[in-house]
Amino acid sequence: MTLDVVNVDGSRINFAAGHVYVAMSRCRTMAGLRVANASQFAAFTRPSVERYYEMAETL
């Protein structure tokens, strides 16, 4: 599903691992993406993904 406008408010939603990406990726264009309170996101990454990218940086 894609949307013309996506509003993501970090002060109201507790996201699980990867959900911030999924929510934001639903928007068709950057112009339709509205992000508020980004510094307050309770967004999480999976530890295994973090380890993968740390390992990739050393290659």
Residue 25, in any domain of the structure: yes
Q: Other C-beta atoms within 10 Å of 20: how many?
A: 20
Residue 14, in any domain of the structure: yes
Amino acid making up residue 21: Y
Residue 1, in any domain of the structure: no
Query: How many domains does one find in the chain?
Result: 1
pLDDT band at 8 (very low <50, low <70, confident <90, very high): confident
- Write out the residue range of the structural domain in which residue 37 sits: 6-57
Cα dihedral: 39, 20, 28, 32 (round 10)? -30
The pTM (predicted TM-score) of the whole model is 0.60
Residue 42, in any domain of the structure: yes
Residue 36, in any domain of the structure: yes
Please say whether the beta carbons of 10 and 39 come within 8 A: yes
50-59: average pLDDT: 90
